[in-house]
Amino acid sequence: MDVPRLVDHDRRRAELGEAAIRIILREGLAGVTVRGVAAEAGWSTGSLRHYFSNQHALQAYVVQATADTLRRRVLPRAQRPRTGGSVVEQVATIVEEMLPLDDERREEYALWSAIVEWERLHPQEEGSVSWNDQRALHRQCIAALRGHEPVRDPGQATAPHPDAEVELWAALLHTFVDGLAAQLMNTPSQVSAGTAGHLLRSLLRAVPRPEQPAHHTEVESPPQG
Amino acid sequence: MDVPRLVDHDRRRAELGEAAIRIILREGLAGVTVRGVAAEAGWSTGSLRHYFSNQHALQAYVVQATADTLRRRVLPRAQRPRTGGSVVEQVATIVEEMLPLDDERREEYALWSAIVEWERLHPQEEGSVSWNDQRALHRQCIAALRGHEPVRDPGQATAPHPDAEVELWAALLHTFVDGLAAQLMNTPSQVSAGTAGHLLRSLLRAVPRPEQPAHHTEVESPPQG
DNA sequence: CGCGTGCTAACACGCCCGTGCTAGCATGTT
DNA sequence: AACATGCTAGCACGGGCGTGTTAGCACGCG
């Protein structure tokens, strides 16, 4: 026993994941079948089932692998330091890294939507994949609105933020970005990339900032529900 | 020939539509199969195919019937006149009629999402169903922000609006509402109904209005893309 | 009453699916 | 060189799907 492995299981699984991602982009998450993924990767179904006993196990792995791929692709772009331009422009370029404004980001957003859909249909899995990423986007919005570097995760996610107004506007921006992304994906004929940029910057200009306190919004309670 | 009909075809089609809506709510649009709808309605597949030759014809009809059902349910609620409360509160209650804040409106939003999904997958159909409803929501937002009754459709959809700022904020509100609805559906544990209400009202309070021109947003171009 | 037409039900075909199973191949060890 | 074990390929079964076809039923009309 304990014979040295002949193949690298992790490498094989990663190959399967890449094939599955290609299928998701072509046919959506419902197209991720045992037979389909095996054919896309050039294998037989029996070989695939040596690594994933179930379709469920396959899809769960694919969701995880896709989330990892997205993190590696999107986060560095969003966290790249911005120096030039106004605060509005800096925040806009950060947010635009996550919006489906071109084919590459449309691909990324389609993959992200597939993950969210999968987790909506399978809510009992231990440890939601998208939750941490949602928090990361949230923190990114907060940090961007402050004009600071992203805050390290304090570990206490529900603790009230020191600046309730910034927290509120981060939540508003987060929601707005979700809507903008949905409109760009679902009704691209009505909301083009240029329109999205205009809308985003218009909203950002409406955000009250300390150095420009022209508009006061009465904050009643923190937006965490 | 021209023998009087023995059954009311429209009535039968409507029965099929209701059965299909139940299936959409249970299993999504992908569950709308010829066999499944026939079984849900208590028919045989042969009978169903007497009314719809294709699965495509069935689904196209179901999408249309669902859109009609939604219009009859949602539009009267949204267009009900608001008298009491501030403008923010009036607009909030209008918008909330379209948000998935309880089980009934979650059902409605799930049906609406199915329609949008279907039209995204079949873009070549003559006359998009959701386009007119998107315009209706857009006009509703504009009218609500103005505090007026809904404007009649001028027939010239791309004509620039007289008040560019209202048009801009209507588009921003529309996008924000889309994002809020998506968050309520996809991540209800993070965005509850109460949170959604707070966020919506916070955004509405930030909208500059003629009687409260405390904040000036530099409008550069109309948001139509 | 008998007939024709509209409607219904059921079956058949081919395809794709998940999954269990088994014979064969390749490789590291003895 | 021979073996044992991990891996591969392929088949088989049962089920769901869309769709074409066909036999049978019900009703209105002559």
Instruction: Clarify whether residues B108 and B164 are in a common domain.
Output: yes
Chain A residues 148-207 within 7 Å (CB) of strand D: none
Q: Which residues face B209 on adjacent strands?
A: B212
pLDDT at A156 over 70: no
Which residues 124-153 of B are in CB contact (within 8 Å) with A?
130-131, 134
Q: Cβ of B225 and A187 within 8 Å?
A: no
Q: Which residues face A212 on adjacent strands?
A: A209
Closest CA relative to residue B170, chosen from B147, B210, B148, B142: B142
Tally of structural domains, chain B = 2
pLDDT value at position B23? Answer: 95
Does A88 contact B at CB distance below 8 Å?
A: no
Any strand D atom closer than 7 Å to A122 CB: no
Instruction: Clarify whether residues B76 and B144 are in a common domain.
Output: yes
Instruction: Clarify whether residues B7 and B74 are in a common domain.
Output: no
For strand D, the positions having any atom within 7 A of a protein Cβ are 5-11, 16-22, 27-29
* Mean pLDDT taken over chain B: 81
pLDDT tens per residue, range B117-136: 888 888 776 666 766 676 67
> How far apart, in Å, are the Cα atoms of B123 and each of A184, B61, B68, B127, B131?
15, 15, 19, 9, 12
Residue A167, domain extent: 66-205
Q: Please, what sign has the CA dihedral across residues A164, A165, A168, A174?
A: negative
* Domain assignment present for B218: no
pLDDT tens per residue, range B33-60: 999 999 999 999 999 998 998 999 999 9
How long, in residues, is chain A?
225
Instruction: Clarify whether residues B42 and B91 are in a common domain.
Output: no
Residue with tokens 């409803």: B133
Distance separating alpha carbons of residues A176 and B178, to the nearest angstrom: 8
Any strand C atom closer than 7 Å to A26 CB: no
Instruction: Clarify whether residues B104 and B197 are in a common domain.
Output: yes
Chain A residues 2-31 within 7 Å (CB) of strand D: 3, 5-7, 9, 12
Mean pLDDT of the region A104-121: 91
Instruction: Clarify whether residues B183 and B161 are in a common domain.
Output: yes
Least confident of A61-65, A216-220, B202-206: A216-220
Instruction: Clarify whether residues A17 and A97 are in a common domain.
Output: no
Q: How confident is the model at residue B159 (pLDDT cuts 50, 70, 90)?
A: very low
pLDDT tens per residue, range A62-112: 999 999 999 999 889 988 888 888 888 988 999 999 999 999 999 999 999
Element (H, E) at A156: none
* Domain assignment present for B223: no
pLDDT tens per residue, range B186-204: 888 889 999 999 999 999 9
pLDDT value at position A149? Answer: 43
Q: Cβ of A202 and B131 within 8 Å?
A: no
Whole-number distance in Å between B63 CA and D26 C1': 33
Element (H, E) at A38: helix A34-41
Any strand D atom closer than 7 Å to B6 CB: yes
Any strand D atom closer than 7 Å to B45 CB: yes
Closest CA relative to residue A29, chosen from A8, A11, A56, A2: A56
Mean pLDDT of the region A28-32: 90
* Domain assignment present for B190: yes
Instruction: Name the phi and psi angles at A198, rounded to 5.
Output: -65, -45
Q: Cβ of B225 and A195 within 8 Å?
A: yes
* Domain assignment present for A185: yes
Instruction: Name the phi and psi angles at A213, rounded to 5.
Output: -85, 55
- Domain CATH for A165: 1.10.357.10
Instruction: Clarify whether residues A71 and A49 are in a common domain.
Output: no
Distance separating alpha carbons of residues A114 and A133, to the nearest angstrom: 14
Spell out the SS3 assignment of chain B: CCCCCCCCHHHHHHHHHHHHHHHHHHHCHHHCCHHHHHHHHCCCHHHHHHHCCCHHHHHHHHHHHHHHHHHHHHHHHHHCCCCCCCHHHHHHHHHHCCCCCCHHHHHHHHHHHHHHHHHHHCCCCCCCHHHHHHHHHHHHHHHHHHCCCCCCCCCCCCCCCCCHHHHHHHHHHHHHHHHHHHHHHHCCCCCCHHHHHHHHHHHHHHCCECCECCCCCCCCCCCCC
Closest CA relative to residue A148, chosen from A74, A72, A82, A73: A82
* Domain assignment present for B105: yes
Whole-number distance in Å between B205 CA and D12 C1': 66
Chain A residues 55-84 within 7 Å (CB) of strand C: 55-56
Task: Find out whether B94 and B78 touch, Cβ atoms under 8 Å.
Answer: yes
Burial grade of B153 (CB within 10 A; 0-12, 13-18, 19 or more): exposed
Instruction: Clarify whether residues A24 and A95 are in a common domain.
Output: no
pLDDT tens per residue, range B53-99: 899 999 999 999 999 999 999 889 988 888 888 888 988 998 999 99
Any strand D atom closer than 7 Å to B49 CB: yes
Instruction: Clarify whether residues A128 and A150 are in a common domain.
Output: yes
Element (H, E) at A149: none
Residue with tokens 């996610």: A157
Instruction: Clarify whether residues B28 and B127 are in a common domain.
Output: no
pLDDT value at position B127? Answer: 64
